[in-house]
Amino acid sequence: MRTILFFITILTAVSFIGCGDGGLATVKVTGTVTFDGEPLPGASINFAPKTQGQGHTGYAITDASGRYQLQTLQGKADAGTTPGEYLVSVSKEEVDPAAPPPAQGYSAQTRSVIPRRYTNPSSSGLTATVENKRSNEINFELTSSE
């Protein structure tokens, strides 16, 4: 009887551990990224904590309408990130049609579709405050002007 009780206890503990998301309490973060007033599909968006150790890096790829749904490596898919202050970067690369064809074994040259300043969270000028509420809608309007 003791052996059965022991195995039931172990199985219950393992099932609780397996069902968790690592204890990371995330909140949903969604939004739209536009460039010169048009949706920016296929862009990579990254949230980096403003203060190291206070928040969890989040990332997403925008869909055809420029919408994104943030997630972290530690949390559940598309569950957002933890509340806090974030520096944000956005990047989108495409194959440079003016570049010479790549040599065998090399990849094609790419160019940034948006100004490079947006690709660095320190220089992008983009910030976000993720609040501790059910859902956060955070939009970014990028422009080609300096």
pLDDT over 50 at 140, yes or no: yes
Identify the architecture of domain 24-142 in CATH.
Sandwich (2.60)
Can you tell me the mean pLDDT for 120-127?
95
Give the DSSP H or E segment for 130.
Answer: strand 126-130
pLDDT of residue 22: 53
CA distance 137 to 139: 7
CA distance 99 to 25: 46
pLDDT digits (tens, 9 = 90+) for 73-119: 877 777 889 999 999 999 999 887 777 777 776 777 888 999 999 99
Strand 28-35 and strand 38-39: pairing? antiparallel
- Confidence band for 129, pLDDT divided at 50, 70 and 90: very high
Q: Sketch the domain layout of the chain as residue ranges.
A: 24-142
Mean pLDDT of the chain: 83
Biggest CA-to-CA distance, the chain:
76
Smallest CA-to-CA distance from 138 within 47, 53, 5 is with 47
Which residues, other chains included, contact 28 with Cβ-Cβ below 8 Å and sequence gap of 6+?
69, 70, 78, 79, 80, 134, 135, 136
CA distance 89 to 103: 31
